[in-house]
């Protein structure tokens, strides 16, 4: 901008100087013409009216031409205030165009940004919809799982109850049975006669034939004589034999009498006997019992009981 102003100032200075020189030349020519007219006036008789008229017309034309030239030069001369106005107008135009272009760019960027935001919002809406669908699906699965868990718990409870009842029924069916352990086994033996002689000799008991429903050996532990299972008619016949349990055990022949306990009750008794906090465990009248101390209260156990929990809860509980 400073360079343009300097160039224009130089141009104006040159034009002004040229105009002054032209004016001075015009003045000199005018003086020469006036001197010539003076010399001509000395000899007035030598010029006619026609010549004077022509001379005046030439002078007027010359003056008019010079004025036209001066006017043209003045028009071509740029004044400082006009230059400032032009520069301001140019700057204003440039600023306006720049602002317009800048606004257009901003509008375009805003439009592009709004488009991106719209696409992003659509993506967010889609993700939120999918997330909602997944949440609902997960909630539905969770409900289904809870239903299955409840059903499983119910089935497990039913199964445990059924197992306990089955064990109870099985044990109840054996309530009049006894087992005789430690009786030597021989080839072709008459088991009924062996038992009858044993009870008569050791326990001093004589059974009527009607008291015994069935009598036979059952599978037992390896390398020991198989136990003899005796199914009696009623509990009175069983009680008569079981009252002699100590006599049979103390006879010194390695024999003993026991109740016919189910396998699940036998396993429970074994677990109780192996437990660190159980002093004694036994079977009595269809149930399994234990003590934590010699003088402690007895605790009744079921095949599905948690021994630790029940011992802690019932160690000082009421007598059963």
Question: Residue 89 falls within a domain, yes or no?
Answer: no
pLDDT category of residue 126 using cuts at 50, 70 and 90: very high
pLDDT reported for residue 42: 45
- Check whether 19 has a pLDDT greater than 70: no
- Check whether 98 has a pLDDT greater than 90: no
Mean pLDDT of 1-11: 45
DSSP state of 221: S
Q: Which residue has the higher pLDDT, 91 or 289?
A: 289
Quick: pLDDT tens for 216-225: 999 988 889 9
- Give the whole-angstrom CA distance, residue 13 versus residue 262: 135
Q: Which residue has the higher pLDDT, 6 or 294?
A: 294
Question: Residue 307 falls within a domain, yes or no?
Answer: yes
- The SS3 of residue 289 is strand
Phi-psi region of 296 (alpha: psi -120 to 50; beta: other; left: phi over 0): beta
pLDDT reported for residue 48: 59
Mean pLDDT of 13-28: 53
Question: Residue 135 falls within a domain, yes or no?
Answer: yes
Mean pLDDT of 189-198: 90
Q: Do 183 and 254 share a domain, yes or no?
A: yes
CATH number for the domain spanning 256: value is: 3.30.70.1820
Whether 251 and 204 have beta carbons less than 8 Å apart is answered as no
Question: Residue 90 falls within a domain, yes or no?
Answer: no
Q: Do 203 and 153 share a domain, yes or no?
A: no
Q: Do 36 and 53 share a domain, yes or no?
A: yes
pTM for this structure? 0.55
Can you list the pairs that 100-108 forms with residues at least 24 positions away whose Cβ atoms lie under 8 Å?
none
Number of domains in the chain: 4
Supply the range of the domain harboring residue 33. 2-78
Mean pLDDT of 37-42: 50
pLDDT category of residue 215 using cuts at 50, 70 and 90: very high
Q: Of 260, 276, 297, which closes a domain? A: 260
pLDDT reported for residue 99: 86
Question: Residue 93 falls within a domain, yes or no?
Answer: no
- Check whether 51 has a pLDDT greater than 80: no
- Check whether 303 has a pLDDT greater than 90: yes
Question: Residue 86 falls within a domain, yes or no?
Answer: no
Mean pLDDT of 127-131: 92
Mean pLDDT of 135-155: 91
Q: Which residue has the higher pLDDT, 18 or 257?
A: 257
Q: Do 252 and 272 share a domain, yes or no?
A: no
- Check whether 24 has a pLDDT greater than 90: no
CA angle 207, 212, 216 (to 5 degrees): 115
Q: Do 168 and 114 share a domain, yes or no?
A: yes
Question: Residue 241 falls within a domain, yes or no?
Answer: yes
Mean pLDDT of 39-67: 63
CB atoms within 10 A of CB 269: 19
Question: Residue 144 falls within a domain, yes or no?
Answer: yes
């Amino acid at each position: 901008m400073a360079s343009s102003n300097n160039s224009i100032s130089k141009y104006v200075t040159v034009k002004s100087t040229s105009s002054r020189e032209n004016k001075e030349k015009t003045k000199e020519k005018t003086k020469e013409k006036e001197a010539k007219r003076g010399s001509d006036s000395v000899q007035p008789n030598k010029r006619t009216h026609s010549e004077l008229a022509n001379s005046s017309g030439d002078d007027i034309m010359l003056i008019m031409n010079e004025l036209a030239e001066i006017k043209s030069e003045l028009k071509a001369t740029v004044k400082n205030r006009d230059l400032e106005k032009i520069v301001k107008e140019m700057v204003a135009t440039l600023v306006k165009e720049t602002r317009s272009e800048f606004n257009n760019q901003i509008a375009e960027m805003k439009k592009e940004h709004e488009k991106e935001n719209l696409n992003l919002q659509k993506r967010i809406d889609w993700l939120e919809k999918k997330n909602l669908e997944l949440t609902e699906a997960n909630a539905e699965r969770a409900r289904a799982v809870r239903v299955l868990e409840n059903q499983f718990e119910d089935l497990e409870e039913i199964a445990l109850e059924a197992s306990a009842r089955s064990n109870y029924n099985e044990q109840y069916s054996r309530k009049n049975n006894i087992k005789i352990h430690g009786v030597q086994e021989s080839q072709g033996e008459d088991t009924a006669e062996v038992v009858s002689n044993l009870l008569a000799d050791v326990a001093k008991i004589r059974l009527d034939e009607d008291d015994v429903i069935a009598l036979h050996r059952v599978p037992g532990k390896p390398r020991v004589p198989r136990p003899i299972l005796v199914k009696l008619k009623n509990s009175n016949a069983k009680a008569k034999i079981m009252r002699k349990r100590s006599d049979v055990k103390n006879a010194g022949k390695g024999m003993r009498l026991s109740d016919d306990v189910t396998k699940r009750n036998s396993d429970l008794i074994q677990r109780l006997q192996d437990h660190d906090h159980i002093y004694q465990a036994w079977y009595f009248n269809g149930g399994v019992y234990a003590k934590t101390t010699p003088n402690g209260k007895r605790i009744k156990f079921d095949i599905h009981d948690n021994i630790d929990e029940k011992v802690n809860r019932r160690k000082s509980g009421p007598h059963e």
